[in-house]
A and B are shown apart, each in its own frame.
Chain A
């Protein structure tokens, strides 16, 4: 069935280094993608989104890349900080409703 999956369940990164979290999606008709950050015991927090007519979008210390050819989405976090420790979810939207298909999540661990 349709799914959004992640390659790595856990990612350990040295503080100050860049982090790259990857996500694969299977529905070529998906046209909207979102990254969320979820800290322990809290709800998901919106980080950045991208529409299918774009390949790249930048925010503050974050960049999302979309490769529609291989159906791949990535989140890059520059100069990773301890506060970036969380689980990161990618989600895709299929169609013209609010139904989001969620990835399994990647736990980002920051090493001091």
Chain B
């Protein structure tokens, strides 16, 4: 149980275009999902917290107009990288809690490798 599915697993796009990444909780409902970014050989960096039915909360330094987050249902959150540039190339990972309790593990999707050419 507690499966988080992320799609696509990889995407290549041209500079200036937008890319949408989907994160789904397959067997549980998640009022809150999290979006992370990870550079090679580095740890995860929290970008934003996605809240179902309300606005996302962005971490300091993350441009909310560039990284649009929509959490339209209890099982789906999307991250749209708008007007992507090569510096946006990275590994994006979403996660969610199956229990809603802070002292329970987050479950992660398998990430999306974004390459902007």
Query: Which residues of A pack against B, CB within 8 Å?
Result: 31-32, 34, 36, 41-46, 49, 51, 89, 93, 95-100, 102-105
Given the known A-B contacts A31-B103, A51-B103, are A99 and B46 also in contact in the complex, defined by CB atoms under 8 Å? yes
Closest Cβ of chain B to A54, distance in Å, is: 12
Docked complex Cα distance between A41 and B105 (Å): 21
Main secondary structure of the interface of B (DSSP, over half): strand
Task: Please tell me which stretch of B11-19, B67-75, B107-115 contacts chain A, meaning at least 4 of its Cβ atoms lie within 8 angstroms of it.
Answer: B107-115
Does A105 contact B34, Cβ atoms closer than 8 Å? no
Contact residues in B for A97 (Cβ distance below 8 Å): 102
Contacts of A45 in B (CB 8 A): 108
Q: Which of B79-117 contact A (CB under 8 A)?
A: 93, 95, 97, 102-111, 113
The yes or no answer to B62 lying at the interface (CB within 8 A) is no
Cβ-neighbour of A43 out of B32, B42, B102, B109 (below 8 A): B109
